[in-house]
Chains A and B, each alone.
Chain A
Amino acid sequence: MSTPMLTISDPVLVEFAEQVDAEDPIAVEGGRTRWEVGGAADEGVRLVRAPEGIVDYVPDEMTVTVRCGTTVADLHAALAEKGQRTALHERGGTVGGALAVGENGMHVLGRGRVREAALQVRYVSDDGALITGGGPTVKNVTGFDLPRLMVGSLGTLGLLAEVILRTNPIPAVTRWVVSDDVDPFAILDTVLRPGAVLWNGERTWVELEGHAPAVEAEASRLAAIGTWEDAEAGPPLLPHRWSLPPAALRDVSRFGGERFVASIGVGTVLSDVEPPGPIMDPGVRALSDRVKEQFDPRGRLNPGRTPGAR
């Protein structure tokens, strides 16, 4: 039989797999920007870093193959030269970190969700093997969706080595506007596809994106429901993340904090206080434990971390 199409030959990935090895407890380190999410890695475990570098960028295909130790900033700088970007959250960390944590940026309405960005994942398994899930094309239902499982798994099922990401065009025009008198919950009935709608309880920021005439038209539609001025950017962000259904943002008592920035239409709230720990349904918790047991029966991958714990 011929060699399977997804067979890995890149010596850089093979070397990473050898470094991960198959025996001792191990944790992977990116930019440490979200190091505490899901619990810090156990003290004293061996730390590795994923390899770096953009392997193959095909702007015409709107895909990029990138090693997971590359910083999101470096990736986005390379993509911007061809007028493209990804859904990955840019806050100083690595591609692998952004995917393993899986949190969306505050521009999720415009840039898409992180869990939909990974078309193909390559990771080192608990027993030191290089595994590929997904595939290189923008549309694919060949086999189970391991990329979805890996995004947000905090490296507890495998250590991400290289991914193929979907890229998106950077719109011709991006414009932030801010208002003190608008009903933030009316924005999505007015603007068809905003990049972001952020509300801090007093002011509402809207990121308009698209062709110049479309952005103009959206701005004038917004003028009918509030008073606006241009802004350089959105509001300053806050450290603690709350996750709510979008409609729950109407009731500010549902989330805490003196200060907050709520992502309207999404449900993420950044606040100055920590949210309560998530409550997971016991059935889902048990199923998640079985997934972990299958992928890492000895618990050697990122011990101490559990997605959904805090």
Chain B
Amino acid sequence: MAGFLSSVKRRLNLEPGGNTGSGDPVVDELRSALAPARVRYDGAERSLLSHDASIFDGGVAGPVCFPTTAEEVQAIMKLALEHERNVVPRGAGTGLAGGAIPLGAPIVVAVTKMNRIIEVDTDNRIAWVEPGVINLDLTRHLQPLGFHFAPDPSSQQVCTIGGNVANNSGGPHCLAYGVTNAHVVALEVVLPSGELVMLGGLDAEPAGYDLRGAFVGSEGTLGITTRVAVRITPNPPAVKTLLLSFSSIRGAANTVSQVIAAGIVPAALEVMDQRITEAVENYVHAGYPTDAGAVLLAEVDGLAESIEIDAERIAEIGRANDALDVRVAKDDAERAALWKGRKTAFGAVAQIAPDYYLHDTVVPRSRLADVLEEIYAIADRYELLVMNVFHAGDGNLHPLLVFDAREPGVVERVHKAGEEILRASLDAGGVLSGEHGIGVEKQKFMDEFFTADDLAHQNRLRQAFDPGCRTNPGKVIPSGHSCADIQALRSVPREVWL
């Protein structure tokens, strides 16, 4: 792997530091534009920021910058332009598709020090925040005012709003409230040219193309967010959380699609299979039944008068699907324990095996049960353990392949099984990703989903923002469509994926 990467770097003339001796000239200029302490070029920092939470290991960070203002981000972009260097924006690095992996030793722009909640404007029901604000910190800040920020990815304790914007992040409660795009009103963005623009606006229908909408979910390829106006959502006066257990995952999956069919849009509908439920229960002792084939966590919120009706209807549908038990969380403590279990599910997996590969696909809700059965069969064929914990309400599957990378040959099997899971989802009429994004992980599948013409059109959008393909190059759109000289970095052999 080391040999491979250095050969690529030599080929692209991207060896960090290059032939400039001890100092990369861009580092000195970045230091005078920001502050010496906020431009790091030491091995430790660069190594740390060469990774994100994905299993992708092919990143090489160049200078790492910690700007504190939009002007500093502009200065970085302009220096990058002048020195023909690439730029990769980064939040907390919790992405699972390798979207923040720096390819080709780019300048890494970590926005974590831009972490001020600038203003909460309850009259307009928005908050202006900097991109480094942590998702849960914003909700905690809004709590006393009676509001919250609706997108709640499992990583919400550490992930940033800027990262949420880049990935169009979801979370359990996006079923009723919508994903990040629905909660971003305006975006201040530094374009790859160094220009600062405001996309969208606080007014009801900002004039012109919806460039705000196109920017959200672009995985850091269109520019760097420096300020965001997010919608703030009033806290519901009443919440009811139900835990339904079933002898099989089919019962849980069928309940989910029948709840949706009945015209109920719960705040959340999450399913966990027996394996993950056992792991979670061992880990947090939330009171999950470990003998059920699957559990369904259903939450309804809103007016007390309304949620009574929806909760009763969900319970009825569950019973009609042979639910073993239907339990309503009796208080906030029980509700919090159940959610803690759900949101720490991935941490709980560490008890079972040292490594896991978390997938993210979406299928039509009516196909959930069939696709899940296929996923178990695929895992069996490859002699792998698979666990399922997912946002069932919107058909968003998260199969988790659990393994020990030290076992010879297991990594190859994990990847082959993963590919088959992805194809099974597409065959069922699904999509490649529901909330983790494409990053570097799923590029090679993009042309199994989109036609060449479709991808060329996505590239048109990219070119309008970033004609030089210098911002987060080598992501999302597969080779042959953009940023050709960086493509070489993406043909990383499978061996480096762990």
Please give the residue numbers on chain A whose beta carbons come within 8 Å of chain B beta carbons, in ascending order.
1-2, 4-8, 58-62, 83-84, 102-104, 113, 115-116, 125, 129-133, 135-146, 148-149, 151-153, 157-158, 168-170, 192-193, 210-211, 213-214, 216-218, 241, 243-248, 250, 263, 265-268, 278, 280-281, 283-285, 287-288, 290-291, 293-295, 307-308
A267, B309: Cα distance in complex, Å:
33
Smallest beta-carbon distance A223→chain B, Å = 15
- Whether A243 contacts B303 in the complex (CB less than 8 A), given A131-B457, A142-B438, comes out as no
Q: Which 7 A-B pairs have the closest CB atoms?
A: A148-B213, A308-B208, A169-B263, A267-B204, A308-B207, A278-B207, A214-B306
Residue of B nearest to A131 (CB): B457
* Residue of B205, B426, B435 contacting most chain A CB atoms (<10 Å): B205
Pairwise interchain contact A211-B306, C-beta atoms closer than 8 A: yes
Q: Which residues of B have CB within 8 Å of A284? A: 197-199, 208, 211
User: Does B270 reach chain A (CB closer than 8 Å)?
Assistant: no
Pairwise interchain contact B464-A294, C-beta atoms closer than 8 A: yes
Q: Which residues of B have CB within 8 Å of A145? A: 168, 181, 213-214, 216-218
Pairwise interchain contact A283-B208, C-beta atoms closer than 8 A: no
Pairwise interchain contact B364-A141, C-beta atoms closer than 8 A: no
Pairwise interchain contact B204-A263, C-beta atoms closer than 8 A: yes
Supply 12 further A-B pairs (C-beta < 8 A) apart from A283-B196, A290-B467: A61-B260, A132-B454, A137-B362, A139-B394, A139-B396, A141-B167, A142-B433, A152-B209, A213-B308, A268-B205, A287-B464, A290-B464
- Whether A140 contacts B214 in the complex (CB less than 8 A), given A6-B451, A192-B236, A211-B309, comes out as no
Pairwise interchain contact B302-A60, C-beta atoms closer than 8 A: no
Contacting B170 at CB < 8 Å: which of A139, A143, A288?
A139
Pairwise interchain contact A288-B211, C-beta atoms closer than 8 A: yes
- Whether A210 contacts B464 in the complex (CB less than 8 A), given A115-B210, A141-B435, A144-B458, comes out as no
User: Does B434 reach chain A (CB closer than 8 Å)?
Assistant: yes
17 pairs, A vs B, C-beta closer than 8 Å: A6-B449, A60-B258, A104-B204, A116-B181, A131-B454, A136-B429, A141-B217, A141-B433, A141-B437, A142-B432, A145-B181, A243-B205, A243-B206, A243-B207, A245-B204, A291-B209, A291-B461
**Interface positions of B from 460 to 481, Cβ below 8 Å from A:** 460-465, 467, 476-477
User: Does B261 reach chain A (CB closer than 8 Å)?
Assistant: yes
Q: Which residues of B have CB within 8 Å of A158? A: 457
A294, B303: Cα distance in complex, Å:
48
Q: Which residues of B have CB within 8 Å of A247? A: 121, 123-124
Q: Which residues of B have CB within 8 Å of A146? A: 214, 457-458, 461
Pairwise interchain contact A280-B207, C-beta atoms closer than 8 A: yes
Residue of A nearest to B435 (CB): A141
Pairwise interchain contact A139-B179, C-beta atoms closer than 8 A: yes
A233, B214: Cα distance in complex, Å:
36
Q: Which residues of B have CB within 8 Å of A293? A: 464
A140, B429: Cα distance in complex, Å:
12
Smallest beta-carbon distance A3→chain B, Å = 9
Q: Which residues of B have CB within 8 Å of A1? A: 447-448
Pairwise interchain contact A143-B208, C-beta atoms closer than 8 A: no
Pairwise interchain contact A125-B198, C-beta atoms closer than 8 A: no
User: Does B242 reach chain A (CB closer than 8 Å)?
Assistant: no
- Whether A153 contacts B364 in the complex (CB less than 8 A), given A145-B214, A295-B457, comes out as no
Residue of B nearest to A153 (CB): B209
Q: Which residues of B have CB within 8 Å of A217? A: 303-305
Pairwise interchain contact B460-A152, C-beta atoms closer than 8 A: no
Q: Which residues of A have CB within 8 Å of B129? A: none
A283, B257: Cα distance in complex, Å:
46
Contacting A60 at CB < 8 Å: which of B260, B305, B363, B453?
B260
Pairwise interchain contact A137-B207, C-beta atoms closer than 8 A: no
Contacting A246 at CB < 8 Å: which of B204, B207, B434, B461?
B204
Q: Which residues of A have CB within 8 Å of B362? A: 135, 137-140
Smallest beta-carbon distance A115→chain B, Å = 6
Q: Which residues of B have CB within 8 Å of A246? A: 123-125, 202, 204
Residue of B nearest to A130 (CB): B453
A170, B265: Cα distance in complex, Å:
11
Pairwise interchain contact B438-A213, C-beta atoms closer than 8 A: no
Q: Which residues of A have CB within 8 Å of B182? A: 113, 116
Q: Which residues of A have CB within 8 Å of B395? A: 137-139
User: Does B383 reach chain A (CB closer than 8 Å)?
Assistant: no
- Whether A287 contacts B191 in the complex (CB less than 8 A), given A152-B209, A214-B302, A243-B203, comes out as yes
A158, B453: Cα distance in complex, Å:
13
A245, B202: Cα distance in complex, Å:
5
A245, B124: Cα distance in complex, Å:
7
User: Does B234 reach chain A (CB closer than 8 Å)?
Assistant: yes
Q: Which residues of A have CB within 8 Å of B150? A: none
Pairwise interchain contact B234-A192, C-beta atoms closer than 8 A: yes
Q: Which residues of A have CB within 8 Å of B236? A: 192
Residue of B nearest to A147 (CB): B213
A284, B209: Cα distance in complex, Å:
9
Pairwise interchain contact B477-A143, C-beta atoms closer than 8 A: yes
Contacting B450 at CB < 8 Å: which of A58, A132, A278, A295?
A132
Q: Which residues of A have CB within 8 Å of B162? A: none
Q: Which residues of B have CB within 8 Å of A84? A: 263
A171, B209: Cα distance in complex, Å:
32
Pairwise interchain contact B204-A268, C-beta atoms closer than 8 A: yes
Pairwise interchain contact A295-B202, C-beta atoms closer than 8 A: no
- Whether A140 contacts B204 in the complex (CB less than 8 A), given A125-B453, A217-B303, comes out as no
Residue of B nearest to A169 (CB): B263
User: Does B365 reach chain A (CB closer than 8 Å)?
Assistant: yes
Residue of B nearest to A248 (CB): B203
Contact with A along B248-290 (1 / 0, CB 8 A): 0000000001101101110000000000000000000000000
Residue of B nearest to A149 (CB): B214
Q: Which residues of B have CB within 8 Å of A291? A: 209, 211, 460-461, 464
A133, B453: Cα distance in complex, Å:
10
Smallest beta-carbon distance A291→chain B, Å = 4
Q: Which residues of B have CB within 8 Å of A129? A: 453
Q: Which residues of B have CB within 8 Å of A218? A: 303
User: Does B446 reach chain A (CB closer than 8 Å)?
Assistant: yes
- Whether A213 contacts B446 in the complex (CB less than 8 A), given A6-B451, A137-B430, A141-B434, comes out as no
User: Does B366 reach chain A (CB closer than 8 Å)?
Assistant: yes
- Whether A115 contacts B213 in the complex (CB less than 8 A), given A137-B364, A218-B303, comes out as yes
Pairwise interchain contact B448-A104, C-beta atoms closer than 8 A: no
